[in-house]
Amino acid sequence: MKIFAAALLTTTAALPAMAQDWKEDYRILRIGVTSAENESDRMARWEPWRDYLAETLGVEVEIYTAGSYDGIVQALAAGQIEFASLGSSAYAAAWTETEGGVRPILASQEQDGSTGYYSVIAVRCDAGHDSLDDLEGKVLAFADPDSTSGYAVPNYNLVQQGYDPASFFRATPFSGSHEAGVQGVVNGQFDAAATYINNEVNGIPQRMVAKGMIGEGEICWIWQSPEITNGPVTVRSNLPDELVEAVKQAYLRAPEDAPEAFQSINGAELSTAKGFVEVDHDRYQWIVEMRDWLKSQRRS
């Protein structure tokens, strides 16, 4: 019994050291952030989160940005970043690009318990566009080819509802980001833009009002998609389990341990986020299938 107890004590004492081994190989962790907003605002919003992760994980953390969603997808595929905050479609793109070499671990949850958001088509409130029918022959801006709410979901659902973007609208350019699309509508560059809202008080248009980029009452939305599962925190599948678990726990504890940093990445004072819930690939398989459908439509 004494021999067994001594062996158990030795094994238990070794566990913390084994759990820390990943830090020897990953002295810097890089998190990719997609381009939903302008670069300066994006970095300012994520800097408190970077500081929180660095302190909690005990390693240096860098924020990796790119000019397009695909830049983040390619960085994951090339092993240039360890994990990323992705939209559902960008996750599906990364999963397809890496042939299953990435996996989702967490998705954000709202105060009401929901774990989804909505694509909307935004127009100027004073433009006289009350429904999709009013946009026939007009210009609709999509955000980015790998954006869930800014391209994949509205494109797919509009076709199902009889509004094929390729023939219904005069043009469907990509604005490059959600904010650029909405700003283009306000400025008269586009008649409408696809973007997203979490709910009636939080989303891209509401954040832009809060930041003084557009005026209150300038933007309305005339179409809303079914609920989209919140995009996941995505990690490379070849990372050590101990590293992934450490990252997961840091995210899960953030609402209590670092509430200001947590709310910052979710829209600061407009945030209605509650925390994170664990997710797996099955929750996003329909997004993979939707992207395959969109690709087949483009080929045909």
Q: Summarize the confidence of residues 89-98 as an average pLDDT.
A: 94
* Mean pLDDT, the chain, integer: 89
List pLDDT tens digits, range 129-156.
999 999 999 999 999 998 989 999 999 9
Q: Is the pLDDT of residue 196 over 90?
A: yes
Beta strands in 86-231 (DSSP E): 102-110, 116-124, 140-141, 192-197, 219-224, 228-229
The pTM (predicted TM-score) of the whole model is 0.75
Q: With CA atoms as reference, report the closest residue to 138 among 87, 189, 180.
A: 189
Q: Would you call 44 helix, strand, or coil by DSSP?
A: helix
The predicted-structure confidence for 252-300, as pLDDT tens digits, reads as follows 999 999 999 998 888 666 677 899 999 999 999 989 998 998 888 877 6
194: left (phi over 0), alpha (psi -120 to 50) or beta: beta
Name the token pair of 276.
């994170």
Spatial CA neighbour of 111 closest among 193, 38, 220, 198 = 198
Please report the pLDDT score of residue 7 as a whole number: 39
Nearest CA to 193 among 229, 147, 228?
Answer: 147
CB 181 within 8 A of CB 175: yes
Angle of CA points 180, 186, 188, to nearest 5°: 95
Residues 181/254, Cβ–Cβ less than 8 Å: no
Is 95 in a helix, a strand, or coil? helix
Tell me what percent of the residues of the chain surpass a pLDDT of 90. Answer: 71
3.40.190.10, 3.90.960.10, 3.40.50.300, 3.30.70.980: which CATH number matches 116-228?
3.40.190.10
List the CATH code of the domain at 2-113+230-299: 3.40.190.10
Distance between CA atoms of residues 217 and 127, nearest Å: 12
- In this predicted model, what pLDDT tens digit does every residue of 19-33 receive, in sequence order? 568 999 999 999 999
CB 94 within 8 Å of CB 76:
yes
Classified as helix, coil or strand, 45 is: helix
Q: Residue 277: count other Cβ atoms within 10 Å of its Cβ.
A: 13
Domain with CATH 3.40.190.10 in the chain: 2-113+230-299, 116-228
